Structure 1
Amino acid sequence: MTRRTTLAAAAAMALLPRLAQGQTGAADEVVPLWPGSPPGASGKAIQRKVTEQSRDPKRPDRWVTGIDRPVLVVKRPARPNGSAMLVVPGGGYGFLSYDNEGTSQAAWLNARGVTAFILLYRLPGEGWSRREDVPLQDAQRAMRLIRAGAARYGIDPGRVGVLGFSAGGHLAGSLATRHSEDVYRPIDEADRLSAAPQVAGLVYPVVSLVAAFAHAGSRDNLLGPGSTPAMQKIRSVEARVDAATCPTCLIHAADDGLVPPANSLALFQALQEARRPAALHVFENGGHGFGVRLPAAMQAAAWPALFATFAGAHEVAFA
């Protein structure tokens, strides 16, 4: 680790006292994505804010804004099996649901031997230039850093997937379909590595930014107000599927009133047309944002096992 990277890591830890130091295990590591200022930095001061949504201290539900230094929070399993997952929380590109779609996901992945990397990515509307590319810059860089550190993390660089939720599902889907797109200038040897996930899990994902069922909040937060149909289409996941798109597992609830299941249906159809491996699970109920905290009696509570089976069939084994 270079002195510059060491200083960046120390700065990242200082900015994450309640997330990385107070609520993660002693073995957790916080990895800054960029050794200096991230691409598109304007010099505007960005103040990190963590808001607790839960009244139960045993079930934290923190929302994070003000991501000035994007990082990976590394969650290691007791018995690693060599697989890894980049975990991408949602929040409409306006905040990050750190616990419901971050730490709780890492916990079940760790229990199955999978090393989890929670991505705290920058939010487009917080003063960055080229706002529409900012989250994908962080996601591509994160995947490359995971592979660059594979030996240190005890993982196989060919067994790294991505798991995204809601708007984080849009970002994960964008990574799956646009992993080779040049959205930032390479800065070190890690950027020579592939950013392509081996497998993708998209849970109640935002997919289309142009269709009638598009989630307007995510679209406007990503692209800014007044975006054109052309801008919306080029960043709609279903429009970017090609022969290089990884196997994708889609999870949704039929009664999702925020991000309609038509999003997952549209992407599944695009994957079918491109002859790419795909699975689609639409449960009768579950609403939006269910994470892994559903009662076992609810149908949608089965999704982690279904995704684990799918991922295992595509070389990302779960214990």
Structure 2
Amino acid sequence: MKQLLWLSLGCFCGCLGVGCASTSATAATSVHSVAVEPATITKPPKGFARAVALWPNGAPGALGDGEGDIPKIYVYPAPGPGIHSAVIVIPGGGYVHLAIEKEGGEEARWLNAHGVTAFVLEYRLGPRYHFPSPMLDGARAMRYVRSHAAELGVARDKIGLWGFSAGGHLASYLAAVNDNGTSGAEDPIDRVSDRPDFAIVSYGRYTLDDSIPRKTNMEGLLGDHPTKAMLDSISVVKRVTKNTSPCFIFSTTADQTVNPMNATAFYDALKQADVPVELHIFELGQHGTGMAQGMKGMSELAIYPTLVANWMEMHGWMSQE
């Protein structure tokens, strides 16, 4: 029965445009691991106005109705009148937990201070959930914000993503693999595009090519024994097209967890596809720097939020102060 559930979910993810080149293979791995694993519970970030369940009647492929089974966004409205741009912040954590304050709440409050409405995504995690559940959750968050743009006071064509580590991988995947929505879908949210207008990605893994050294095979997303086809299906550099969203890439040479060659590989793929892209790789800084403020001996990293702001201002996604 669970096998059928995951196969059906694979077809569903194809309709949503999140890609499922190896969903059935993933299903075989997932079925054996998710049945006995409890859901991962994440403490909410600080300072949000309200939380919104992305599927009030249950997410596709949900294995329960507890907190860890309910993908949601935490809403941080920008102050002041008028229509604002928006950013959905996607925390990292290896697809098994979420650094939701350091790589979510902090950024959301910073965006608010710069006139941008923010949302922090809480997506489903392994080992209970594997591909494509996080991708479905991220795509749904994009569709939700765009379909509720008037209610949320945001511009439909100025909605971006900002992801860190695993969240950077997820944001880059959504930037590359998306669709225009399903015309005539019963759920009006599914009728709108899930393509982000831009993506900011920090120290994420964008390729699983053997030419770039790595310590893991993203088991949190794919399970313990992913096949090459499964690895290829989530390698973002293989999914880039001319329709991929403009990207801002941040990494550090000293990152010992995710090789910064991932950042250059993603940059190269975007450049070859003629997608607008900006790349910054700093010499110092371990993995997981977040907003990179106040880091002892690494004062140069503090410029990171300013670089993000400058890039967003240049493209009209943040108002110049």
Query: Does residue 102 of structure 1 match 2:101?
Result: no
1:252, 1:283 within 8 Å by CA — same for their partners in 2? Answer: yes
1:162, 1:172 within 8 Å by CA — same for their partners in 2? Answer: yes
Unaligned 5+ runs, structure 2: 1-39
Question: How has the CA–CA distance of structure 1 residues 182 and 133 changed in structure 2, closer, same or farther, with 3 Å as cutoff?
Answer: farther
Question: How has the CA–CA distance of structure 1 residues 284 and 71 changed in structure 2, closer, same or farther, with 3 Å as cutoff?
Answer: same
Query: Does residue 276 of structure 1 match 2:270?
Result: no
Q: What secondary structure does 2:57 align onto?
A: coil
Letter in 2 for 1:241: V
**Please, what TM-score do these two structures have when normalized by structure 1?**
0.80
CA offset digits 1:251-304 (Å, max 9, x no partner): 011111111111101000101111111110001112111111422762122111
Work out the CA distance in 2 between the residues paired with 1:171 and 1:17: 18
1:209, 1:232 within 8 Å by CA — same for their partners in 2? Answer: yes
Residue 311 of structure 2 aligns with which residue? 310
Question: How has the CA–CA distance of structure 1 residues 79 and 293 changed in structure 2, closer, same or farther, with 3 Å as cutoff?
Answer: farther
Residue 64 of structure 1 aligns with which residue? none
Give 1:84 deviation, angstroms: 0.3
1:242-253 alignment runs, 5 A limit? 242-253=241-252
Between 215-224 and 140-149, the greater mean CA deviation after superposition: 215-224
Question: How has the CA–CA distance of structure 1 residues 181 and 213 changed in structure 2, closer, same or farther, with 3 Å as cutoff?
Answer: farther
CA offset digits 1:177-233 (Å, max 9, x no partner): 0112999xx651011101111111001112113334365546111111211111111
Work out the CA distance in 2 between the residues paired with 1:231 and 1:182: 25
Residue 284 of structure 2 aligns with which residue? 285
2:78, 2:84 within 8 Å by CA — same for their partners in 1? Answer: no
**Please, what TM-score do these two structures have when normalized by structure 2?**
0.80
Unaligned 5+ runs, structure 1: 1-14, 49-66
Q: What secondary structure does 1:19 align onto?
A: coil
Query: Does residue 24 of structure 1 match 2:47?
Result: yes
Which of 61, 85, 93 is equivalent to 1:40?
61
Residue 213 of structure 1 aligns with which residue? 212
Residue 153 of structure 2 aligns with which residue? 154
1:92, 1:217 within 8 Å by CA — same for their partners in 2? Answer: no
Give 1:17 deviation, angstroms: 10
Residue 127 of structure 2 aligns with which residue? 125
Cα RMSD, aligned residues only: 2.5
Residue 193 of structure 2 aligns with which residue? 194
Between 204-213 and 86-95, the greater mean CA deviation after superposition: 204-213
1:5-84 alignment runs, 5 A limit? 19=44, 23-25=46-48, 28-43=49-64, 67-79=68-80, 82-84=84-86
The ranges of structure 1 where at least 4 consecutive aligned residues each deviate by more than 6 angstroms after the TM superposition are: none
Work out the CA distance in 2 between the residues paired with 1:142 and 1:39: 14
Residue 60 of structure 1 aligns with which residue? none
1:308, 1:317 within 8 Å by CA — same for their partners in 2? Answer: yes
CA offset digits 1:137-176 (Å, max 9, x no partner): 0011000100111111111010001100000000000100
Work out the CA distance in 1 between the residues paired with 2:106 and 2:214: 25
Question: How has the CA–CA distance of structure 1 residues 211 and 304 changed in structure 2, closer, same or farther, with 3 Å as cutoff?
Answer: farther
Give 1:124 deviation, angstroms: 3.6
Percentage of pairs with the same residue: 37
Work out the CA distance in 2 between the residues paired with 1:305 and 1:251: 12
